[in-house]
Amino acid sequence: MTPSQTNPAGRTARHASETPETPETSETSANDSSGRASGPSGRARPPATPTAGGPQPPVDSAAWELLLPAASAPARARGRSLQAALREAVRSGRLAPDTRLPSSRDLAADLGVSRGLITEAYEQLTAEGYLRSGRGAGTWVGSAVRAARPRARDLAPRATGAHADFVAGTPDMSLFPRAAWAAAQRGVLAELPHHELGYPDPRGLPRLRTALAELLARRRGVVADPERIVVVSGVAQATTLLGFVLHARGMREVGVESPGSPQHDALYASAGVTTVPLPLDDEGLAVGPLRESGVRSVVTTPAHQFPTGIAYSARRRAELLDWARSVDGFVLEDDYDGDFRYDRAPVGALQGLDPERVAYAGSVSKSLAPGLRLGWLLVPEALAEDVVERKRTMDLGHPTLDQALFARFLERGDYDRQLRRCQRAYRERRDTLVSALEEHFPGAEVTGIAAGLHVIAALPDRYGPQERFLARVAAAGVAVRPLTDYAHARAGEGDRPGVRLVLGYAHLSPTRIRAGVRLMAEAVVADPR
């Protein structure tokens, strides 16, 4: 506010360079020619902390304009509003460090508020470090305060920006059942007892654990005791929980599939556990190298191995459990894409064969949406107590409203309907992708079972070498990842004449799938060799 402007009370605003006063400063202090408060001798008093650079900057009138709405706030809230507005003026840089402030009397007159409110605001912000003052020296913006540049960054995985994005791992979020979810939410808010909003059982609400036990026994053949189910924020948290528990039991290494999910390495590393890559064969994880590795726990995706797409054979499942018993170890089953089988009923979970040797994890990330951060972990009795205590110290339990909502969603059959809806959509998209590959890449072989949200496409040797192929399609705006990106040992893989791609399709419409494969083929044909 400039000297020509008037405040709400009709008084003419004083210029910002007039004498500031702290609550301790005499109301009769005089101004010298510099505008600083003078002592009895008439000499200008310096700020409490001397600063280099000569005269202090004047108060920007725009900074005081930030206080005007606060001055008009309801009487009971006016003091807090003034403090918040003044604090924001300092944080934003509108009041620069070492700026001298008007006296409490002058600012109160300018704003048309009581002097006591300004005095209280100055005292509060001085205590917080935003302002500083000294007896008879006035009030100043703290020299250590620097203008904040608030910026909320989004660290979520970004879309590639490609014309065609075949990167695997993303479901179609437009399939999320908004109407049914909203209805379940309304029902929960209407019926949830007040006491259930307290700190929850770290394992999860009994209602949800009971509903999950019924679902998993029916759909995945799991031996599901509600007392052994822990509700988690996705398979990632389940993996980390198990990592901490295994580490505490002296298991500092865990076997992982190669190729496999790169997330396992980072998640176990956060718990102090090292991953040991183990090879696959046509039936699943190769048992020979597993025995030779010396590990006592191994992570598997037996229903639909990620990323190769194979399903573990019955013989390999039995061999894996025999190994776990022989070393007094555990199999950690990530039921990746276990619900999405398109040519027959899904193979049951490995956990159903030996619940005391298998820890089983799943989530709704592909069936509903990854942003819900909702999953489950079924643990052997030997690990149950340790897992629950670790979960308790990690986050005190999963949010109650989310659990109650999902429990209602399960109980009313909405989740089964959602799974059927997703299966229909994803089956059509897989068929579209396979057909488009046959049309535009003659001789291409799609490997793995008809399941999940991605395929492995092995292209004929004439499209290689792989690095050259990837460079050409990337230049055309097609985002793809090769199978070698998921392997731990990559030496020499890029020199192979053929091309093996991991192609995700769930998030793409059939039209976009066809257009993307066509664009990829045109990029290969158009490039002279």
From first to last of its 529 residues, what are the pLDDT tens digits of the chain? 443 443 433 343 344 334 344 433 433 333 333 333 333 333 333 344 434 344 445 555 555 666 778 777 887 888 898 999 888 888 888 888 888 888 888 888 888 889 999 999 999 999 999 998 877 778 989 887 766 566 776 666 665 567 899 999 999 999 999 999 999 999 999 999 999 999 999 999 999 999 999 999 999 999 999 999 999 999 999 999 999 999 999 999 999 999 999 899 999 999 999 999 999 999 999 999 999 999 999 999 999 999 999 999 999 999 999 999 999 999 999 998 888 999 988 889 999 999 999 999 999 999 999 999 999 999 999 999 999 999 999 999 999 999 999 999 999 999 999 999 999 999 999 999 999 999 999 999 999 899 999 999 999 999 989 999 999 999 999 999 999 999 985 434 444 557 999 999 999 999 999 999 999 999 987 554 5
In a domain, 66, yes or no: yes
How do beta strands 164-165 and 478-479 pair?
parallel
Provide the pLDDT for residue 76.
81
pTM greater than 0.85: no
Which structural domain, as residue segments, surrounds residue 443? 164-168+418-526
Provide the pLDDT for residue 258.
96
CATH of residue 352: 3.40.640.10
CATH of residue 455: 3.90.1150.10
CATH of residue 108: 1.10.10.10
Compute the distance between CA of residue 173 and CA of residue 369 in angstroms, rounded to an integer: 6
Compute the distance between CA of residue 105 and CA of residue 10 in angstroms, rounded to an integer: 16
Question: Do the beta carbons of residue 306 and residue 455 sit within 8 Å?
Answer: no
For helices 263-270 and 235-248, what crossing angle results, to 10°? 50
Compute the distance between CA of residue 88 and CA of residue 435 in angstroms, rounded to an integer: 60
157: tokens are 């995985």
10: tokens are 């009709």
Element containing residue 241 per DSSP (H, E): helix 235-248
Same-domain pairing of 129 and 191: no
Compute the distance between CA of residue 406 and CA of residue 155 in angstroms, rounded to an integer: 27
Give Cα separations from 154 to 157, 158, 341 (angstroms): 9, 9, 34
Same-domain pairing of 361 and 225: yes
304: tokens are 């639909």
Question: Do the beta carbons of residue 283 and residue 250 sit within 8 Å?
Answer: no
Question: Which residue bears the tokens 């000569």?
Answer: 54
Provide the pLDDT for residue 91.
85
Provide the pLDDT for residue 104.
87
Same-domain pairing of 364 and 513: no
Same-domain pairing of 21 and 102: yes
In a domain, 489, yes or no: yes
In a domain, 338, yes or no: yes
Partners of residue 38 on adjacent β-strands: 44
Provide the pLDDT for residue 418.
98
Provide the pLDDT for residue 305.
95
Provide the pLDDT for residue 12.
39
| b/e code 268-302 from CB counts within 10 Å (16+ = b) | beebebebbbbebeebbbbbebbeeeebbbbbbbb
Same-domain pairing of 109 and 254: no
- Report H helices in 92-141: 104-111, 115-128
Q: How many domains does the chain have?
A: 3
Three-state SS string across 287-335, please?
Answer: HHHHHHHCCCEEEECCCCCCCCCCCCCHHHHHHHHHHHHHCCCEEEEEC
Same-domain pairing of 268 and 301: yes
Provide the pLDDT for residue 420.
96
CA atoms within 13 A on the CB side of 290: 29
Same-domain pairing of 356 and 274: yes
Compute the distance between CA of residue 223 and CA of residue 239 in angstroms, rounded to an integer: 20
Same-domain pairing of 403 and 427: no
Same-domain pairing of 407 and 425: no
Q: Which of 378, 412, 446 is the last residue of a domain?
A: 412
Same-domain pairing of 145 and 184: no
Question: Do the beta carbons of residue 312 and residue 320 sit within 8 Å?
Answer: yes
Compute the distance between CA of residue 299 and CA of residue 161 in angstroms, rounded to an integer: 33
- 10 Å Cβ neighbour count for 84? 16
Identify which of 23, 524, 487, 495 has the alpha carbon closest to the alpha carbon of residue 258. Answer: 487
Question: Do the beta carbons of residue 203 and residue 232 sit within 8 Å?
Answer: no
Rg of the chain taking only CA atoms, in angstroms: 33
Element containing residue 527 per DSSP (H, E): none
Provide the pLDDT for residue 154.
63
Number of H helices and E strands in the chain, helices first, is 16, 16
Provide the pLDDT for residue 75.
79
Question: Do the beta carbons of residue 243 and residue 442 sit within 8 Å?
Answer: no
- 10 Å Cβ neighbour count for 423? 15
Identify which of 148, 45, 63, 71 has the alpha carbon closest to the alpha carbon of residue 99. Answer: 63
Same-domain pairing of 181 and 219: yes
Identify which of 131, 151, 133 has the alpha carbon closest to the alpha carbon of residue 141. Answer: 131
Question: Do the beta carbons of residue 26 and residue 8 sit within 8 Å?
Answer: no
Same-domain pairing of 260 and 397: yes
- Report H helices in 381-509: 381-395, 400-411, 414-440, 466-475
